[in-house]
Structure 1
Amino acid sequence: MANNQLNVNEIINHHLETKRIRRAALARKMGIMLHTLLSYQKKTTIQTSKLWELSHALEHNFFADIATQLPTSYTTTIDIHAENQQKIADLQSQIKALEIQNKVLMDIVKAKL
């Protein structure tokens, strides 16, 4: 993708077609005229603020769609794994607590036998 031109509207149109979203309904939801929305789609680029509005109106992260087209070697200031790492740490703590409970219960059962 290094030298290829990104066509953001292809990404947007693909989403609209896949989800069968009518452009008139989207324009109403965004509070804009249909011809304004259609004018966005005539261009290969779109202003970030307009893409932000579309993302919120459609509850879809177009920025992530674009980001996945970049090489994974590119850096970012966001740790996309932080949330998952926290969930893993929480689950590991929960496993340890359950292992302790299991051991206590097993000791009680053995003591009663």
Structure 2
Amino acid sequence: MTNQQLNVGAILTNYIEAKRIRRAALARKMGILLQSLLSYQKKASLQTDKLWELSHALEHNFFADIANQLPTKYTTTINAQAESQQKIADLELEIEKLKIEKEVLMDIVKAKL
């Protein structure tokens, strides 16, 4: 890791402030005390399960935010392009089906003329 230290509390605080999220409402949604949420924001590190719960409560991927701070040369076991490649394959299949449907419809229209 570089000289810059990771501060998960700061990442959380910046997100909450940027999105103007009410802390009391977030604490209620998570089923925790407001004081607990405020303590998360003050900590430089946070347990993974707490960050996981925050990610779900806010529908935001804090793990990706942290991962983006790492050098791109670092490896991962996740294929970031797999989802995009699958979506492309699905769309190509849909295009082929639509082409066939179009041809059938054109044949029907020609037959009626």
TM-score category of the 2 structures, normalised to the smaller one: 0.7 to 0.9
**2:99 is equivalent to residue 91 of structure 1:** no
Structure 1 unpaired stretches of 5+: none
How many aligned positions are there? 113
Aligned residue number for residue 49 of structure 1: 49
**2:34 maps to which residue?**
34
> Partner residue of 1:73?
73
Q: Give the deviation of 1:2 after TM superposition.
A: 2.4
Provide Cα deviations, 1:36-82, integer angstroms capped at 9, x if missing partner.
11111221111111101111111111111111111121111111111
Are 2:55 and 2:61, in contact at CA under 8 Å, matched by a contact in 1? yes
Code of the aligned partner of 2:72: T
Query: Structure 2 vs 1, CA of residues 98 and 8 (structure 1 numbering), >3 Å: closer, same or farther?
Result: same
**Percent of aligned positions that are identical:** 71
> Corresponding residue for 1:21?
21
Deviation at 1:96, TM superposition (A): 4.0
Provide the rounded CA distance (Å) in 1 between the counterparts of 2:100 and 2:39: 63
CA RMSD of aligned residues (A): 2.4
State TM-score, norm by structure 2.
0.80
Gap runs ≥5 in structure 2: none
Change (3 A) 1:108 1:72: same
Q: TM-score, normalised by structure 1?
A: 0.80
Residue of structure 2 in register with 1:59 after alignment: 59
Worse-superposed segment, 15-24 or 87-96: 87-96
Partner of 1:45, secondary structure, is coil
